[in-house]
Amino acid sequence: MGYEDREPDSSELAKMKQELRDALESGAFGMSSGLVYPPGCYAKTDELIILCKIVREHNGIYATHMRDEGNELETALNETINISKESGVKTQISHIKTWGQKNWWKIDKIENLLKNARAEDIKITCDRYPYTAAATDLDIILPDWVYEGGASKEKTRLEDPLCRERIIKEMEQEGVSEEFWGTIMISSVFNKEQRHYEGKTIAEISNVLKIPSIEFVLDLLYQEDCRVGVIFFNMSEENLARILKWDFVMAGSDSSLRSLKGILNYGKPHPRGYGTFSRIIRKYVNETSILSIEEAIYKMTGLPSQTLGLKYRGLLKEGFFADITIFDQRTISEQATFAIPHNYSTGIKHVLVNGKLTVKNGQHKNIMNGAVLKS
């Protein structure tokens, strides 16, 4: 179906169901959806329920990035709960949050919705990273219709004066203001010629260029073939601490792989790729006591393993695989920052992967002992 905004016909839906069954029978843990991104944003609720019933039949998990985390947060969460209820599938909500200051007050509502659903035996868990900034693609801020047909059609619309006028008008109706652009930092661009934008906010750049921020954004997306990574600084620290405390929320980085060298060393990525787990211990255990050390470790290891159905992993227990990190709780700390993100944490002493010492005294031993995990 590609990037078409329509429901699947009967043959297309049958193919989806068969491909899903094949994947689950080959060891996939479940199915994920990115309903805020194209083409997932075009999937309808009924279609997702049908597919999730197959996931349930295989005792798999449905992981979802909901349709909205801000203005329509409650509607999106109710849809997710309904999908889980109607299909009976175990559901994992990716990095639950209240996005945008005007939506911070909704924390009570989403907590009640989640706890009431779980009280009704609807199987829902969540994950969260320990930062108040999110990272994703810049074009996520555009209306859904702009994506239809794929990147080439999106680029054509960005160039068309009438389409640009419509985009700007719809974004203004959504309440996008000049203040909003000061909360978005460019983290990566595709073309080397424009990498001087990395690490700067859209407001800063547009002020230097003396053009409206929205015009700069549309121009940049066009020039970069819609491949622009950004960081949004728009979440509440109070809400974050509260979410981390919920017993059905586990820790997750929501990051792609990064490295200090090689092809994975590029741009100014979100520091969560390097610092998520050490930050939780440093900030939310040692400094604020939001979590006990036992709770924090469980949210990083045992709870994710149990939620995914990973056997013999996630706990220090006889007969389990020895995936073990030995750290100094007094000195463990993230060193990655938004300005200088490519930095490993301190305080990590030794790491064993499947029983082999992979990191010794903070130094990688070039031992590769990982394994592909299957359901």
Of the pLDDT bands very low, low, confident and very high (cuts 50, 70, 90), residue 174 is: confident
Which residue segments constitute the domains of the chain, with CATH numbers given?
1-128 (3.20.20.140), 135-233 (no CATH), 237-375 (no CATH)
Q: Give the 3-state DSSP-derived string for the chain, with helices as H, strands as E and coil as C.
A: CCCCCCCCCHHHHHHHHHHHHHHHHCCCCEEEEECCCCCHHHCCHHHHHHHHHHHHHCCCEEEEECCCCCCCHHHHHHHHHHHHHHHCCEEEECCCCCCCHHHHHHHHHHHHHHHHHHHCCCCEEEEECCCCEEEEEHHHHCCHHHCCCCHHHHHHHHHCHHHHHHHHHHHHHCCCCHHHHCCEEEEEECCHHHHHHCCCEHHHHHHHHCCCHHHHHHHHHHHCCCCEEEEEECCCHHHHHHHHHCCCEEECCCCCCCCCCHHHCCCCCCCHHHHHHHHHHHHHHHHCCCCCHHHHHHHHCHHHHHHHCCCCCCCCCCCCCCCEEEECCCCCECCCCCCCCCCCCECEEEEEECCEEEEECCEECCCCCCCCCCC
Beta strands in the chain (DSSP E): 30-34, 61-65, 90-93, 124-128, 133-137, 184-189, 228-233, 249-251, 324-327, 348-353, 356-360, 363-364
92 phi/psi in degrees, rounded to 5: -120, 120
What are 216-248's pLDDT values in tens digits?
999 999 999 999 999 999 999 999 999 999 999
- Which pair of tokens denotes residue 367? 């031992």
What is the Cα–Cα distance from 235 to 100, expressed in whole angstroms?
Answer: 6
Q: Give the 3-state DSSP-derived string for 146-171, with helices as H, strands as E and coil as C.
A: HCCCCHHHHHHHHHCHHHHHHHHHHH
When the pLDDT of each residue in the chain is averaged and rounded to a whole number, the result is 95
Strands 133-137 and 324-327: unpaired
**pLDDT score for 266:** 86
What is the Cα–Cα distance from 81 to 295, expressed in whole angstroms?
Answer: 26
What are 258-292's pLDDT values in tens digits?
999 999 998 889 999 999 999 999 999 999 999 99
User: Residue range 115-143: average pLDDT?
Assistant: 96
**pLDDT score for 178:** 80
Residue 283: strand, helix, or coil: helix
Stated pTM of the model: 0.92
**pLDDT score for 177:** 80
What is the Cα–Cα distance from 198 to 220, expressed in whole angstroms?
Answer: 12
User: Residue range 295-307: average pLDDT?
Assistant: 97
Of the pLDDT bands very low, low, confident and very high (cuts 50, 70, 90), residue 59 is: very high
